[in-house]
Each structure stands twice: as structure tokens, then as C-alpha cells.
């Protein structure tokens, strides 16, 4: 497959930075997966061990379900689990995305507990591997089981990640990259006891030191076109993954927070996708949503005038 448009994009410095930073976050997520799954199993066991009511091993028999993001009327079993989540939440008075949770699974599925500490939109994720870096970092930050982790280092990376994913031009400066790299390295160094994190660290180091428009990481020397083809194919795949995550979040977030969607940002995002033939085709559904939103906003803007 020819990737002419992607190769052209790799000549734009800001976009190349955006892509590299996104790649690093994908590796952070991979580095954390096994550790998170393991720790959530331990956390689940600990919660049960310290709560005599939960030790009876009862499950919900009343079909308790969160309504949108609220979880109010609950049976005694679900209520007990909900209290435990609040007890272990570092910000129990902040927004808790109950809509992520399937309460009837709390007694048996450790990952169902993790979801109460994540941004919304994770209802159908059943293990760490299916979640993105932001979700895992939020669990590290919001669940007090991870009190042994330096929270300042985690929030630093969450902050960078949000800036990256909310950039409607999909561009970040070299200066931003410097700050991002520093935050990432500090967190990775702090988590060096996680073996998979060390592997991720190596890949991140390679990515940050390579010039993507000339080379593809993971290949010492490009022997022939075949290797190059494989690399550009995988680059194209994670580009799609990252763009999807960013567009989804930019469209969802505004709606969710009740903030008026920023028309200018939306138009920038629109222009970006339209400006690349391959992306325009690939993100047709997203473009449709953007166009509908823009039209709605334009209408209400005209009414106000
Ligand atoms: Zn229940």
C-alpha cells in the first residue's frame, strides 16, 4: 500500500512531534498493562479481606445499574462495593464515572473496580490491555492502592497527554516535546521495578531519537523495501489509533463537560482532516459528526446575533 500522504505529513515538524509523543504513550500503556492487571487483583483481594460483609461473597440480585453517570439506588451488596470504591478514591467528591461500571461484576471481576477510577467511556473494557494510557494513569492517580507511586510524576504525564490529545491541529512544538520527554523519563525511572516498563522505555528512547521522516524505529538498518513497507504499515496503524482517540475525545469531552463546543477548534480539526485525502476517507464518520456539530453551532450563533 502506498502511504504518500503519511510520508508527506512526516515532513511537518509539529505533526511529527505529535505522532512521536502519541507513540510514546502507546508504549507507556503497554508497559503498564500486566502490572495494572496484577495490582487490581491484589487490590480486589485486599478490599474483600478487610470487609466482613463482602467476605460472604454475595452478588447483586437486584439488577442494580448506573443511570448515565449516576449510581444511586443500590442493593446492600452493591452499596458496600460502592462505599469501598469511595473509601479508596483519592478524590471521592470529584466526578466518579459510575457509568463505566457494571456493579454486578464487582464481587468477581477485579478490573470492574478499576473502571470506577477512569475517565468515562470505559464501560466495555474488561482488562488493562483494552484501555488507553490515560485510563491506566488515572487509575494510578485516583486509586489509593497506588499510594507508593509518586503522584506528582503521574499527574505531570496525564497533563501532557491531555494537551496532546486536545490539540485540534495535531501539532506540538519542540519545546513541548522537551517538557513531555522529561516528564515521561521521570515517571519511567520511578516505575523501573516494572519489567515491561523497561522494554517500553527502550522503545520510547529510540522513537524520540529517530527522525521519522528518514527512519522507522525498531530497524537498525533498512535492508530493503520490504522492511520499510512493514514499518510504514505499522506507523500508519498507530497513527490511525491515535487520531481516533484524539478526535473522539475532542468531540466527546466538550459535550460531556457541558462546555459549549469551541467552534474555532472544531473548524481547525475539520480543516486538518479535509486537508489530507487519506484521512478524509478514513474518518468519514467523524467528519460527518463534526459537520453536524458545526452546523448546529453556526445556527445558534446566528440566532444570538
Ligand atoms: Zn446490586
For residue 74, report the distance from its CA to the centre of ligand 1, in Å: 5
pLDDT band for 302, please (50, 70, 90 cuts): confident
For residue 59, report the distance from its CA to the centre of ligand 1, in Å: 7
Task: Note the pLDDT tens digit of each residue in 125-171.
Answer: 999 999 999 999 999 999 999 999 999 999 999 999 999 999 989 99
For residue 113, report the distance from its CA to the centre of ligand 1, in Å: 14
Say which residue the cell 478487610 belongs to: 50
For residue 194, report the distance from its CA to the centre of ligand 1, in Å: 36
Q: How many domains does the chain have?
A: 1
Q: Within a domain: residue 269?
A: no
For residue 110, report the distance from its CA to the centre of ligand 1, in Å: 16
For residue 85, report the distance from its CA to the centre of ligand 1, in Å: 14
Nearest to 5 by CA among 235, 242, 241: 235
- The answer to whether residue 260 scores a pLDDT higher than 60 is no
- The answer to whether residue 39 scores a pLDDT higher than 80 is yes
DSSP 210: S
Q: Within a domain: residue 2?
A: no
CB 26 within 8 A of CB 242: yes
Q: Within a domain: residue 82?
A: yes
Q: Within a domain: residue 292?
A: no
For residue 175, report the distance from its CA to the centre of ligand 1, in Å: 50
Q: How far apart are CA 51 and CA 227, in angstroms?
A: 55
Q: Within a domain: residue 244?
A: no
Task: Note the pLDDT tens digit of each residue in 83-95.
Answer: 999 999 999 999 9
Q: How far apart are CA 271 and CA 265, in angstroms?
A: 10
Q: Within a domain: residue 276?
A: no
- The answer to whether residue 217 scores a pLDDT higher than 60 is no
CB 134 within 8 A of CB 246: no
DSSP 261: P
CB 266 within 8 A of CB 290: yes
For residue 63, report the distance from its CA to the centre of ligand 1, in Å: 6
* Enclosing domain of residue 106: 14-207
Q: How far apart are CA 279 and CA 44, in angstroms?
A: 42
Q: Within a domain: residue 132?
A: yes
- The answer to whether residue 259 scores a pLDDT higher than 60 is no
Does residue 67 sit in helix, strand or coil?
Answer: strand
pLDDT the model gives residue 223: 46
**26-35, 202-211, 246-255, 284-293: lowest mean pLDDT where?**
246-255
For residue 56, report the distance from its CA to the centre of ligand 1, in Å: 15
Q: How far apart are CA 112 and CA 98, in angstroms?
A: 11
Q: Within a domain: residue 294?
A: no
Q: How far apart are CA 149 and CA 203, in angstroms?
A: 23
Q: How far apart are CA 186 and CA 109, in angstroms?
A: 32
Ion ligand 1 neighbours (CB, 5 A) are 60, 62, 64, 75, 78
pLDDT band for 284, please (50, 70, 90 cuts): very high
pLDDT the model gives residue 216: 57
pLDDT the model gives residue 1: 56
pLDDT band for 297, please (50, 70, 90 cuts): confident
- The answer to whether residue 224 scores a pLDDT higher than 60 is no
Amino acid at each position: 500500500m502506498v502511504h504518500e500522504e503519511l510520508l508527506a505529513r512526516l515532513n511537518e515538524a509539529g505533526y511529527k512531534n505529535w505522532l512521536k509523543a502519541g507513540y510514546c504513550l502507546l508504549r507507556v500503556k503497554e508497559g503498564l498493562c500486566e502490572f495494572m492487571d496484577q495490582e487490581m487483583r491484589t487490590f480486589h483481594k485486599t478490599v474483600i479481606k478487610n470487609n466482613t460483609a463482602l467476605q460472604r461473597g454475595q452478588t447483586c440480585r437486584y439488577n442494580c445499574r448506573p443511570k448515565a453517570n449516576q449510581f444511586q439506588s443500590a442493593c446492600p451488596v452493591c452499596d458496600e462495593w460502592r462505599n469501598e470504591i469511595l473509601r479508596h478514591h483519592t478524590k471521592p467528591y470529584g466526578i466518579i464515572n459510575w457509568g463505566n461500571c457494571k456493579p454486578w461484576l464487582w464481587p468477581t471481576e477485579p478490573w470492574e473496580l478499576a473502571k470506577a477510577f477512569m475517565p468515562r467511556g470505559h464501560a466495555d473494557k474488561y482488562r488493562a490491555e483494552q484501555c488507553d494510557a490515560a485510563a491506566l494513569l488515572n487509575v494510578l492517580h485516583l486509586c489509593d492502592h497506588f499510594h507508593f507511586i509518586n503522584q506528582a510524576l503521574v499527574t505531570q504525564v496525564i497533563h501532557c497527554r491531555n494537551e496532546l490529545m486536545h490539540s485540534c491541529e495535531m501539532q506540538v512544538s519542540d519545546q513541548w516535546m522537551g517538557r513531555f520527554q522529561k516528564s515521561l523519563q521521570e515517571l519511567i525511572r520511578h516505575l523501573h521495578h516494572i519489567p515491561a516498563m523497561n522494554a517500553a522505555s527502550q522503545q520510547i528512547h529510540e522513537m524520540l531519537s529517530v527522525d521519522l521522516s528518514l527512519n522507522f524505529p525498531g530497524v537498525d538498518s533498512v535492508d530493503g523495501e520490504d522492511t520499510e513497507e512493514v514499518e510504514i504499515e505499522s506507523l500508519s496503524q498507530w497513527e490511525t489509533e491515535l487520531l481516533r482517540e484524539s478526535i473522539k475525545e475532542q468531540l466527546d469531552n466538550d459535550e460531556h463537560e457541558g462546555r459549549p463546543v469551541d467552534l474555532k477548534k472544531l473548524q481547525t480539526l475539520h480543516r486538518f482532516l479535509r486537508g489530507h485525502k487519506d484521512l478524509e476517507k478514513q474518518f468519514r464518520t467523524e467528519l460527518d459528526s463534526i459537520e453536524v456539530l458545526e452546523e448546529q453551532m453556526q445556527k445558534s450563533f446566528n440566532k444570538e446575533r
